[in-house]
Amino acid sequence: MGRVKENDLRNREAERAQTVLGDLTLNSIDIFCWCNRCGHNAIITTDILINRFGPALAVPEVGALLRCSGCGSKDVATRPNWRLPEKIARHG
């Protein structure tokens, strides 16, 4: 029974629409990049990435096309740079 549930979950996850770079421009959300090797991180503006790779590239796939400016590794993870709501940012 575990395999059936696991396969169902995997299928549902695959059907979800991935967030692409073009989706983030509507709210001016940039991309947070993290090097899995040395921990260096940076924020890259979405506009720069769209100019280079196009608006249809999925956000998690961006990391595979980048290189860490700290150590030169290609093991870079990417995600949207979500902003904290004002209340949390002031009190956190």
- Is there a contact between 45 and 62 (Cβ–Cβ < 8 Å)? no
Phi and psi at 61, nearest 5°, equal: -80, -15
- The residue extents of the domains of the chain are 18-82
For residue 39, what pLDDT band results from cuts at 50, 70 and 90? very high
Separation between Cα atoms, residue 30 and residue 2, nearest integer Å: 38
- Is there a contact between 53 and 65 (Cβ–Cβ < 8 Å)? yes
Render pLDDT for 46-78 as a digit per residue (tens, 0 to 9). Answer: 999 999 999 999 999 999 999 999 999 999 999
